[in-house]
Amino acid sequence: MDIAPFTGYVYPNEGVIQWSVMIVIYPYLTGLVAGAFTVSSFYHVFGMQRFKPVARLALLTSLCMMIFVPVPLLIHLGHPERSMYSMITPHLTSAFAMFGFFAAFYMVLLMLECWFVFRVDNVERARNSTGISRAFYRAITLWSDDTSPGARALDAKLLLMLAVIGIPSAHGLHGYIGFVYGSLKARTWWESDLMPVIFLFSAIVSGVALLMVLYVVSCKIRRVKIDHGCLKGMMYALWGFLMFTLILEALAFANLVYKGREGVEVIIEYVQGPLFFRYFVLQFAIGALLPIMMMGLMVALNIKGRIFVIGATICALLVLMNVLMMRWNVVIGGQEIAKSTKGLLTYHLPLWGSEGLVAAIILTLAPFGLLLVLTRLFPPWADPPNPL
Amino acid sequence: MKNDRKKNQRREFLSATGKALAGLGVIAGSGGLLSGSTKGEESAADATSESFPTPDYDWTKHRWAYGIDATKCIGCLRCVEACKAENDVVRDATHFRTWVERYVYLEGEEKARVDSHSDPQNIAASGSEAEYRFDNRYKDAKVTKAFFVPKICNHCTHPACVQVCPVGATFRTEDGVVLIDHDYCIGCRYCVQACPYGARFFIEEEGVSDKCTWCYHRITKGLQPVCVDVCPTRARVFGDLNDKSSTISEFVDNNPVQVLKPESGNGPMCFYIGIDKDVS
């Protein structure tokens, strides 16, 4: 077993950093689930027409991410075969005991919503295909073939209901992840009342940013015109939520330093030293301030056309990096500050192994592989009817 | 492999126990250092985990607690050695059910220099991660104050580790001991994160969390935890708070005791005397 290098004094048992890169990926994927769902809700719940081109893509993205959310946890567990104990015999005082229920509930809700959103399309595909393809789509529609206006109206009604329930569910799931960290009083870096809120808002920005990138990339692949109104709408959402998230994060940090509780010296040493680049440079400066300024500039100068698309996509990519760094800095950062309040540890990310860099990259990219398959089976672009 | 490790450690323990008993026999004969330190007459060999759970043990009749007199600890680390052997704890530098910290104030310095036997310099001095000792690094320094602080699971009244376990694999017994059911632990390590004292660790080979049990397999037989038994200076005391004449009751009643990190709200049941402001 590798001992994490440390400075100062750390408790002997802290020599192994327990929550690895997998526990960084886990909230990252969960955040993308919630954020993608938010984009879908802009259209499906709030009726914002400019988000129509990405609404169904957002829903599929949310589903693909959600399918992979439990994977990093299962990889990380010492006994993954016992994971169901948390649902069979949940220990109700545990912040984590509810994860299985929340996740399962949200997964069912997401699948139901996808089913209603794609139902009419799938009925049409079943009608227009033969053989295995027909059988597949018939099975997917659960052998319903009613596309009458009445049935569609009922679909829309149920869809709205599901989407409305989905908003608190998706955001509750992610706010709850923030609570898993924020409620731990043993680690000063985590113990913050703002943690669930920060997780929630960073989730929204990550989802919006992801949809911006996916939308632009998918349009390029499909060689269709990008709906600038839609992209701009997402950029505005990203801009606004990002500013809010940045302020929340800054407030949480200021609060921690200003209170100056026991151990603050080591936290200051940490942020000025090992964390400086990851926290102030990557997460705050390049990942948040730069895109905020770039988007502000694009709005102020009313940048249009190709430069707008490139600029917006770069901003979205930067924000995706920002949120990944935020997850890393919370999960790994919290553990690099020793509970002894007298020392700092250094996490070493192995290249190989079940909790190594390669596994983390594969796991992060896996939902996109699934998304590629699902967009072939259930093209989300068929709707809206207006040409792109 | 795991069984081999256990067998080897058991063999090491029995061998070490034999030597220790021989050595302690001399001490006992010369001054009776051990008199009154154990309540039962059973030998350590009878208290193996194979004979656990103890028949007829009534956990409603006890309220166990632990005391540490830091002024008596000499940093010999017999407690650490004995614990590793008794409880089959992995012999390396990152898995400890109990450990000892050294606090040294040098002339002109306001803050203590702290290290434990897991410090790389101490490992270098012992020659192995599996051998525990403190080096002599302060030999030529002007030391104004120095002391050792034994650490152990605090078996808290409101344990954060128990609160966060998603499956209830870790629990507090009626007699006040926080235990882990290794057959039920899912290995999420949330409890390891939640413990403010760093008392929990993860057994990679077995995929479960682990920690001190106050030698529950021994105390339910009337014996002392092994770390208490082997302490040559009686810096560690253990007993039943329900028994007003017990060593621990006298320790708590007759001394101004402190607990570690009281602000955590966990309600530690490990009481200290003789510790300084920098101990946390």
Print the SS3 string covering chain A: CCCCCEEEECCHHHHCCCCCCHHHHHHHHHHHHHHHHHHHHHHHCCCCHHHHHHHHHHHHHHHHHHHHCHHHHHHHCCCHHHCCHHHHCCCCCCCCCCHHHHHHHHHHHHHHHHHHHHHHHHHHHHHCCCHHHHHHHHHHCCCCCCCCHHHHHHHHHHHHHHHHHHHHHHHHHHHHHHHHHHCCCCCCCCCCCCHHHHHHHHHHHHHHHHHHHHHHHHHHHHCCCCCHHHHHHHHHHHHHHHHHHHHHHHHHHHHHHHHCCCCHHHHHHHHHCCCHHHHHHHHHHHHHHHHHHHHHHHHHCCCCHHHHHHHHHHHHHHHHHHHHHHHHHHHHHHHHECCCCEEEECCCCCCCCCCCHHHHHHHHHHHHHHHHHHHHHCCHHHCCCCCC
CA nearest to B200 within chain A: A13
Q: Which residue of B has its CA nearest to A74?
A: B188
Q: What is the pLDDT of residues A84-128, one digit of tens each?
A: 999 999 999 998 888 889 999 999 999 999 999 999 999 999 999
> B78 in a domain, yes or no?
yes
Q: Are B170 and B162 in contact (CB under 8 A)?
A: yes
Is position B278 within any domain?
A: no
Do A12 and B192 count as a contact with CB atoms less than 8 A apart?
no
Domain boundaries, chain A: 6-378
Among the partner residues A12, A14, A185, nearest to B264 by beta-carbon distance: A185
Q: State the average pLDDT for chain B.
A: 87
Counted across chains A and B, CB pairs separated by less than 8 A come out at 140
Please give the tally of structural domains in chain B: 1
Compute, in degrees rounded to 10, the torsion defined by CA atoms B267, B271, B276, B279: -50
Quick one: pLDDT at residue A99? 85
* SS3 call for B242: coil
Query: Does residue A354 have a pLDDT over 50?
Result: yes
d(CA A356, CA A343): 25
CATH number of the domain within which B118 lies: 3.30.70.20
Count Cβ atoms within 10 A of the Cβ of residue B256 and give its class: 0-12 exposed, 13-18 middle, 19 or more buried.
exposed
CA B2 to chain centre: 23
What mean pLDDT do residues A11-32 have?
96
pLDDT digits (tens, 9 = 90+) for A34-59: 999 999 999 999 999 999 999 999 99
Ramachandran quadrant class, B73 (left: phi over 0; alpha: psi -120 to 50; beta: rest): beta
For residue B7, is it within any domain? yes
Q: What is the pLDDT of residue B13?
A: 42
What pLDDT does A387 receive?
Answer: 36
What is the predicted pLDDT for the residue at A175? 87
* Measured CA angle at B87 (ends B81, B90), to 5 deg: 70
Q: In this predicted structure, which of A152-161, A284-293, B14-23 has the lowest mean pLDDT? A: B14-23
Q: In the prediction, which pLDDT does B46 show?
A: 52
- What residues make up the domain containing B205? 2-273
pLDDT tens for A310-345 read: 999 999 999 999 999 999 999 999 999 999 999 999
Predicted pLDDT at B159:
98
User: Cβ–Cβ of A94/B190 closer than 8 Å?
Assistant: yes
**Cα B179 versus chain centre, distance:** 14
The nearest CA of chain A is from the CA of B6 a distance in Å of 18
Ramachandran class of A181: left when φ > 0, alpha when ψ lies in -120 to 50, beta otherwise: alpha
Angle at B266 between CA B260 and CA B269, to 5 degrees: 60
Q: What value does the mean pLDDT of chain A take?
A: 94
Fold topology of A6-378: Formate dehydrogenase/DMSO reductase fold (1.20.1630)
Judge: B194–A186 Cβ closer than 8 Å, yes or no.
yes
In a domain, B157, yes or no: yes
d(CA A204, CA B73): 54
B180 occurs within a structural domain: yes
Contact B98, B227 (CB under 8 A): yes
d(CA A288, CA B224): 58
Answer yes or no: is pLDDT of A285 > 50. Answer: yes
**Cα A123 to the center of its chain, rounded Å:** 31
Instruction: Determine the residue of chain B that is closest to A261 in CA distance.
Output: B263
Instruction: Give pLDDT, residue B14.
Output: 43
Is A96 in Cβ contact with B195 (below 8 Å)? no
pLDDT exceeds cutoff 70 at A5: yes
- Kindly tell me the sign of the dihedral angle through the C-alpha atoms of B150, B155, B158, B163: positive
Q: Determine the pLDDT at residue B47.
A: 52
- pLDDT above 70 as % of chain A: 98
Stretch B47-76: mean pLDDT: 88
Predicted local confidence at residue A262, as pLDDT: 86
Instruction: Tell me if B279 is assigned to some domain.
Output: no
Task: Name chain B contacts of A16, Cβ cutoff 8 Å.
Answer: 94, 201-202
User: Model confidence over B14-56: pLDDT tens digits?
Assistant: 444 444 444 444 333 333 333 334 444 444 445 555 667 788 8
Distance from the Cα of B211 to chain A's closest Cα (Å) equals 10
> What tokens does A105 get?
């509930």
Q: Confidence class of residue A21 from pLDDT cuts 50, 70 and 90?
A: very high
Segment A295-301 mean pLDDT: 97
Q: For tokens 């049941």, name the residue.
A: B269
Q: Which residues on A lie below 8 Å from B166 (Cβ)?
A: 85-86, 90-91, 94, 96-97, 99
Q: Is residue B280 part of a domain?
A: no
Over the stretch A269-279, which tens digit does the pLDDT of each residue have?
999 999 999 99
State the pLDDT at residue B2.
46
User: Nearest to residue A388, comparing CAs of A218, A234, A237?
Assistant: A218
- B99/A11 touch (CB, cutoff 8 Å), yes or no: yes
Q: What is the pLDDT of residue B52?
A: 74
Q: Which of B101, B115, B195 sits opposite A186 (nearest CB)?
A: B195
Residues A77, B264: C-beta atoms closer than 8 Å? no
Chain B residues whose CB is inside 8 A of the A353 CB are: none
Give the pLDDT band of residue B211 (cuts 50, 70, 90).
very high
The minimum CA-CA distance between B44 and chain A, rounded to whole Å, is 27
B126 SS3 class: helix
The pTM of this model reads: 0.90
Crossing angle (nearest 10°) for helices A22-44 and A305-336: 140
Q: Which member of B94, B114, B160 has the closest CB to residue A1? A: B94
